[in-house]
Structures are given as structure tokens and as C-alpha cells.
Amino acid sequence: MQRYILRAKNKITLLSAILIVIGFSSLWLLRNEVIFTSSLVLASILGAMPIAIQAYQALRVKVVSIDLLVTIAVLGAFLIRNFEESAIVTFLFLFGAFLEQRTLTKTRSAIKELTEMAPESALKRMDDGEFVEVDVDEVDVGDVLLVKTGAKVPVDGTVLSGEGSINEASITGESIPVAKEKDSNVYAGTILDNGTIQIVADRVGEDTTFGRIIELVEEAQDSKSEAERFIDRFAKYYTPAVLVLAFVIWLISRDVELAITILVLGCPGALVIGVPVSNVAGIGNGARNGVLLKGSEVISDFSRLDTMVFDKTGTLTMGNPSVAETEYYGDGIDEALVFLASIERESDHPLARAVLDKIGATTFSEVTDTEVVKGGGIVASVAGHRVAVGNVALMEREHVTLGEKAKLDVTRLEKNGNSLVLTSVDGELKILMGIRDQVRPGVKEDLQKLKRLGVKNLVVLSGDNQGTVDAVSRELGLTEAYGNMLPEDKSAYVRRLIEEEGQIVAFVGDGVNDSPSLALANIGIAMGGGTDVAIETSDVVLMNSDFSRLPHALGLTKATASNMRQNVLIAVGVVLLLLSAVLYSDWMNMSIGMLVHEGSILVVILNGMRLLRYRLERS
């Protein structure tokens, strides 16, 4: 029966609320005190059952919880026939517990989703030289595996033979595929976009990079759950103190009604609702402004933030490479653009798509004698002209002379973190394009707002090369920038900040590869357009991946945390005032005490509701 009642606690909360509404409606509208009293008595009994069970279970393990105080107070309210107080207190207590419990269950589905993304099978070379599909658990270190186009890499390994382009977004978060050849490292969970490769298994199962991602998320979530303890820590001292005070009063005065009055007035009605109402109002404001906050513990930590760590791709940047800078040399540029578009439309590489997007609508010429130069680019014949499209090394191979201006432009574009696409026609350089993942519009201004709100350090961690990361850092004025980082490197950095330096750390990201750091950080912040795993693992979600919502989120949590403290002070102050008045004055009685008590609940509710109108001040 106890388990059934506790499982139905949320339904009991809803039913109690309905009965309270029915009761007060019947009194105010119908003047029917019978329905009023009956509804509140039933609401009190229903609401008290799960609270009393929790108090009993806590006592069995020698813990005096706040549930016990609420239970005794409800019994006391029954003895003095104050059914309004007993019904409202039980409902508010259950509703506050519901809000806290709801936030704890949101992240658990992330583990299942991560597991489902892991590779399940592999093509393993057998003793006869044939490749046979086996379960990934049957792969051992040293086995040779075949990976075909479109397949997931089953283990961490090294390429033995073949070439291909691998999408490593699940590991590094970078959208541009990485070319792989003999002796290149590959990671489990990444996808071979094109080509066919044979690899030797270096790490398998839980030892792979992807396996460690899952393990890190599990560890971080388990450690996080220990933070949800504020009310119990407070009750550890508050509850016994009120119980002892009521008992001492009874021993001295032998006045049962006075002792019950102490319990009732000491019942933390405003305290119980003060934190949840601030929490609900803050969350409501956030939801209206595109910020999903997952609970009061999130708000508390977020408001005390020291350091904010960002993933680069999809967070500070748009996540899609595009042409950022273009330089033209000599005559015949329009013709050269046609030639360039004609070659690039035959490629599915992200850089080719970026070039085509930049050129826009155009005509195309026939492309023949195409030669793909490994690590360089493409050389082809277009309309009778020899056209080369690729990097500087390809230009040197084609004996294309770069003038002084072109050399300066190449240096400048590389320093700005661009991938270069050069185009020559018949041995003459015509076009230089710098392609990079563009910084989100307005991000620099938003980062300045975060600094003004008290964030001391702004750090970027990325799987991209250090030069590109440094360019983004310089452009945005960040404190620190680290490139070439795998998920385990990112989470290790976050762990060091938290455990060794004692900082309150927020991590902002959007990919599966970010999920360990999102879960490990004090505050995980996901871009709403990111992966489901990142969103589920995070504590805060910026809807529609709108980075400009981040300063509002931080300002809102600071205001909400302050509001919570105000409500706690109001609630505790009123309780102390009432208890003092009962003991040391003649004018305090149950009616006045109840009026003040209910008034304090109204005050903390109205104070919390102010958060619905919160807006970040413009500066």
C-alpha cells in the first residue's frame, strides 16, 4: 500500500489541488460550508498520506525529515479544526517535491540514446581472408576490419589500406569530413562518407573513444544527483528544533493547544512554496524567452558562475562552412568563376558546396580529363582550358606563380582561420577563396554582456586545428582557446577547473561529442538545434540555437537565485516572528497568527511572480 501511494503521489497532488479549488469555490460562490469543509478535509487526508509515509520511512533510518514536521503540523491543524491550513500546506509541499523530482528524471534517457548510436556490427577478416559480419563485441584488439562507404567505424583503429573521407562530427563536433589514408587514426561511431578502408583494431568496446563518452556521461550524471539536497540539509536542523520547542512549551505550560499552535505556526508553508514559486516563475520567464531551465539546482549553480566554456562549431559558429573572403587576380574573372563552378558541382565535399553557394546561379561548362590530386585538389579540362582548383601545394605542382599580393592574401586568410581554395586557369591564378565556419552574428556583443554579468573566464575548446580556434578566439575576445581536443580532453579540462581550481563551470555545446562535458560541468548548456543527446544531458537549453538568449539566461538565474533567498528570509523571518509573538506577547492568537502566516505565503508568491517580468537591462 505504501508503494502504491508513493507511486500515485503526483496524482494525489493534482487531486488535492482540485479539491482545494472546489472547497474555496463552494464557500465564496455558494456559501456552502459543508462542501468547503468536506473538500479540505479530504484534500488534507489525501495529501498527508504520502508525506506521512515518507516521514515514517525517514524515521526508520533515523532521519528527522521535514516530512515529519509537516505531518505533525497537519495533525495539529486537524485537532484545532483549521482544515484550510492543513490542505494548503500538504498541497504546497507535494507540489514543491514534484517540481524537484521532475528535473531529476530528464537526463536519464540520454544514456539509452547514446548506446543506440554506438556501432553494433563489424566486417571482420577471418582466417581464410574473407570478411564476415560479426557482432562488435566479437572484435578483439589486432583484428582487421573492413569499413565501406556509409558504414560506422566499429572501433578505434589505424588505417591499413584504402582511402576515404570520414565524418567525425560524433566525436570532434566538426562538420567538415576528414581525409583518411594509410596510418591515419579512426574512431568508433564516426561514419565513412566515401571510399573503402581496412583498419586494425586498437581499442574496442568500452575502451573506444565513443565508449568513453558514454562512461563519462554516466559518471557525471551520478555525481550531479548528489547536489539536490538543500531542503533536507535545512530540515536537519529546523525540523527537530520546532519539534523540541513545541514539546518544551507543552512541558512547561501543559497547554496542548499552545504546543499545537507552535507546530502549526512553525510549519514552513511560505518556506515550502517560496523556493518553488521563484523556480517556477524563473522557468516560466525563461520558456517565454527561449531558455529552458531544468530545475532549481541549475538556477543556484548558474547564478554563481565563474567560467563559461564553449564548443566552437555550432555554438560560437554557425556549424556550416561558407566563403568568408574572396580575392580576384587579373582579367577573365567571370569566365574563371564558371570554370570553378563547373568543377565544384561534381563534388559533394562541404568546401565545394560553400563555393557553389558563393558563386550562386551561373552557367556551366563541360568538364573532362578530371584528375584528383591527393591532398591537393582537382585538375581538369574545362572548355579547352586547364583549370586547377585546390590548395597552395596544388598551385606549386601546376607551376602557378603567386604574386606578392597573392602571397600576402594567402597569409592573411590562413591567419584568419580559413581553408583556402585557389583557382588557376592555364597556369595563372584567378581566384582565392577563404572558407571557414562563420561566427554567429552578435556573438561578440553577447559575450561582452556575459562578462558584465560577472563571468570571469570565457574559454573555447574545439576539435578543430589550433590556428582556426585561435582566430575565432581573437575575433571574439575570449580568455583562452584550445584546439585539437577530443571529447575526453574537453571533459578532463572541465573536471580540472571544477575539482582542482574549485570553479563553477558552465559548458555550452551542441553535439554528441559535447555530452560528457555538458553532463560533467556544473551547468550544461545545449543549443536547441543540437543533438537530442546534448539537449537531454544538459541543464539549460537555448531554444532554436539562439546564442543571444544566453545573457538573458544568466541574468535571469541571478535574479531568480536572489528571489529565492529573499523568499527564504521572508518565510523564516515570519516563522520566527510568529513564534516569538506566541511566546512573548498577549495579543498573538491563532487567528492573527494564521492571517500573518497566510499573508507570508502570499508575499513570497507575489515576490516570485516579479520574475515573470524580468528583462535583461540594456547596456
Q: Grid coordinates in use for 166?
A: 570520414
Length of the chain: 619
> Which CATH number applies to 291-318+440-556: 3.30.2140.20, 3.65.10.10, 3.90.1170.40, 3.40.50.1000?
3.40.50.1000
For 174-183, the pLDDT digits (tens) are: 556 788 999 9
Rounded Cα distance between 28 and 33, Å, is 9
Based on its alpha-carbon atoms, the radius of gyration of the chain, rounded to whole angstroms, reads: 32
Distance CA 265, CA 89 (A): 11
User: Percent of the chain scored above 90 by pLDDT?
Assistant: 33
Cβ–Cβ under 8 Å, residues 407 and 417: no
Residue 311 annotated among the catalytic residues of the structure: yes
CATH class in words for 120-154+156-203: mainly beta
Q: What is the pLDDT of residue 97?
A: 65
DSSP state of 331: S
Query: pLDDT digits over 299-357, tens only?
Result: 888 888 999 999 887 788 887 788 989 999 999 999 999 999 999 888 766 678 889 98
Extract the C-alpha cell encoding 470.
Answer: 585561435
Q: Nearest CA to 392 among 352, 341, 433?
A: 433
Residue 3, Cβ density class (10 Å: 0-12 exposed, 13-18 middle, ≥19 buried): exposed
- Is the backbone of residue 591 left (phi > 0), alpha (psi -120 to 50) or beta? alpha
The single residue of 143, 156, 311, 464 carrying the catalytic annotation is: 311
pLDDT band (50, 70, 90) for residue 429: very high
Report domain extents, the chain: 120-154+156-203, 268-290+560-619, 291-318+440-556, 319-439
- pLDDT tier at 170 (50, 70, 90 boundaries)? low
CATH code for the domain defined by 319-439: 3.40.1110.10
The DSSP code for 155 is: S
Distance CA 181, CA 159 (A): 6
Q: Give the predicted TM-score (pTM) of the model.
A: 0.61
pLDDT digits (tens, 9 = 90+) for 243-297: 888 888 888 888 776 777 777 677 666 666 677 777 777 877 887 787 877 766 7
Residue 220 confidence class, pLDDT cut points 50, 70, 90:
very low
SS3 call for 326: strand
Please tell me the predicted confidence (pLDDT) of residue 559.
93
Return the SS3 of 36.
helix
* Domains 291-318+440-556 and 319-439 in one fold: no
